[in-house]
């Protein structure tokens, strides 16, 4: 009986070592993953800082990447403007706060919204019923001259 008790004791002692090794490996892998994510965040932050410092420069070691980023940023801005327009909104030209197309001033920075960005009053055409802005002399849908306000 003593031999079987000794074997049980040895097996019981071996299991915790194996378990400790698995737990330690998992803990180390978790720490490695956290450190890797932190490293990637710092690399991203560095890339953003480099881009911000170099986006208006005409030369540099990564100028082609900077140009591609600039083009993508412009494309995103244009598409965002279209989405806002579909919702009857615009982006303030100064602080980029989203405001109504009818607003004369930005609600955040008080910048006067240029007339070109604001929606003009719209009335139906007397001929075709299409929408005609108040400052348009001719209906863009059917070509009929609009009555001028007196």
Per-residue confidence band for 139, with pLDDT thresholds at 50, 70 and 90: confident
Q: Identify which of 20-24, 71-75, 124-128 has the greatest average pLDDT.
A: 71-75
Domain ranges, ordered by start, for the chain? 1-54, 58-117, 120-150
What is the pLDDT of the chain when averaged over all its residues? 84
Q: Got the DSSP string for the chain?
A: -HHHHHHHHHHHHHHHHHHHHHHHHHHHHHHHHHHHHHHHHHHHHHHHHHHHHHTT-S-STTHHHHHHHHHHHHHHHHHHHHHHHHTTEEE-TTT--EEETT-SB-TTT-PBPPTTTSPPPEEE-TTT--EEETT-SB-TTT-PBPPPP-
pTM, full prediction: 0.52
Predicted confidence at residue 115, as pLDDT, reads 79
């Amino acid at each position: 009986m003593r031999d079987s008790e000794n074997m049980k004791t040895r097996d019981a002692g071996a299991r915790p070592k194996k378990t400790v090794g698995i737990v330690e490996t998992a803990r180390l892998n978790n720490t490695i993953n956290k450190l890797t994510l932190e490293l990637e965040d710092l690399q991203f932050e560095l890339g953003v800082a480099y881009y911000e410092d170099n986006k208006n420069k005409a030369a540099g070691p990564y100028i082609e990447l900077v140009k591609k980023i600039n083009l993508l940023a412009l494309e995103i801005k244009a598409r965002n403007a279209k989405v806002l327009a579909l919702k009857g909104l615009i982006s303030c030209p100064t602080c980029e706060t989203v405001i109504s197309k009818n607003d004369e001033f930005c609600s955040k920075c008080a910048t006067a919204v240029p007339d070109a960005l604001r929606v003009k009053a719209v009335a139906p055409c007397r001929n075709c019923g299409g929408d005609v802005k108040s400052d348009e002399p001719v209906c863009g849908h059917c070509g009929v001259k609009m009555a001028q306000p007196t």
